[in-house]
Structure 1
């Protein structure tokens, strides 16, 4: 992480913690784009923790399934809401016991941070956060998990986290979801059913994963430790405190948006998310 010491070392790191309600389901994605743009203009890093419950976050590829209405009906029949995000990947579950973390970093004009370097930064942070456990955290694709990717994080071949990233100008948002506790097997079954209903006889084909629920597990189970979401957030913060000597500044989005006069930018990005989700919301309304 030597390259990134110039970004974090002795810098003030804004930390936002958000509990997302159903009425506010689009907000984490709008906030991410606002903060990523702001990171570019102000050379300011941010750390955003957010949690949701009973929500499936879809990738854009999911919204192109041939029997999407049937897939969405499978989600709502189990009491889940859904939202299409503005970054790559496929469906993941945002649930109690799952935490999403966005690390938003500026790229100095005289430097370049490659896509693998950004992924490796998040992987290294997670490894350091749990360095006191005698396990190896691997980064490799778990192809039969939900939302498989090259930077799936796993222990003994079972995935507990996935990483994605989004770039706007000179800002990078590196995003990870971590399954910490709760009914992970049921989450896997839910996403498997979503694809079975949405793809029918094409299940497991055309880049959609043949989800096997046992391919994933909670980090608590893999570490044989009763971890809480708060403990995981504290461990991640401690990495920044000890590795980069970062100074933390806790803030609410409302305070920060007002302080930086970003109301118009937030409204613009919120409207983009509304338009992105208009079609699947309508499908859900029409589905009996």
Structure 2
């Protein structure tokens, strides 16, 4: 397995680094990356088809987030550039028509282990009107909320090619106020329902606010019991 660490100096070069995971998997080797992407709003394919998409891109810019389009996932997600993590695991596939459910299950179980190691008790699913709604999400009870309501802090998606598959997602570590605010503005511009109170973070759930601590836990969980792990630095290679 190859593990990629760090962030490339520009947003586009950093996206190129993530695309390399599928190339590695297509050559027969699994790959993992967990990192802090540049500040951006990453719109999904469902967003791009909406009539108000251009308005939402402008709203993102006005809120100080660079708009981009992503290959994996459904609706917009926000990365603040400092505390929000992205994760990805790519692996070879022998038959692209099968295995999706197993890959989702392994990734979800890995994120559950990571969050538990940080002192949280995640549950599968998400509150109503969450950001990037989907079947594969994790929520936690917010320790800062007197009602102990559950908030979404992990979303997981998958992209499958004939020779490789990529399971990827987002973990919100801290900075809930800004992230909820920008997501509310962007979803409002798209005319898509979002409850900003459904946005959660590791820190607000009582876990660490340090993204490096969370990154290490997620990376370890995604690597699991793999042997022959080699580590490469994105900053040095790109």
Task: Please give the range of the TM-score, normalised by the shorter of the 2 chains.
Answer: 0.7 to 0.9
Q: 1:213 to 1:59 in 2, by over 3 A?
A: same
Q: Is the 8 A contact 2:21 2:89 kept in 1?
A: no
The residue that corresponds to 1:58 in the other structure is: 43
The residue that corresponds to 2:161 in the other structure is: 168
Q: 1:74 to 1:254 in 2, by over 3 A?
A: closer
Alpha-carbon distance in structure 2 between the residues aligned to 1:58 and 1:147 = 9
SS in 2 for 1:19: coil
Alpha-carbon distance in structure 2 between the residues aligned to 1:186 and 1:155 = 19
Per-residue CA deviations over 1:82-137 (Å, capped at 9, x if unaligned) read 10112231100011210101111123x38985222111111111122233466532
CA-atom RMSD, angstroms?
A: 2.6
Aligned pair count?
229
Larger-Rg structure:
1
Alpha-carbon distance in structure 2 between the residues aligned to 1:159 and 1:99 = 14
SS in 2 for 1:191: helix
Per-residue CA deviations over 1:221-252 (Å, capped at 9, x if unaligned) read 21x133311111222343366x4153431113
Q: 37, 53, 65: which is aligned to 1:68?
A: 53
Alpha-carbon distance in structure 1 between the residues aligned to 2:86 and 2:182 = 19
The residue that corresponds to 2:89 in the other structure is: 103
The residue that corresponds to 2:144 in the other structure is: none
Alpha-carbon distance in structure 1 between the residues aligned to 2:84 and 2:124 = 19
Alpha-carbon distance in structure 2 between the residues aligned to 1:213 and 1:83 = 21
Structure 1, unaligned stretches of length 5 or more?
A: 1-12, 205-209, 258-288
Structure 2, unaligned stretches of length 5 or more?
A: 142-149
The residue that corresponds to 2:139 in the other structure is: 154
Alpha-carbon distance in structure 1 between the residues aligned to 2:59 and 2:24 = 38
Alpha-carbon distance in structure 2 between the residues aligned to 1:135 and 1:255 = 34
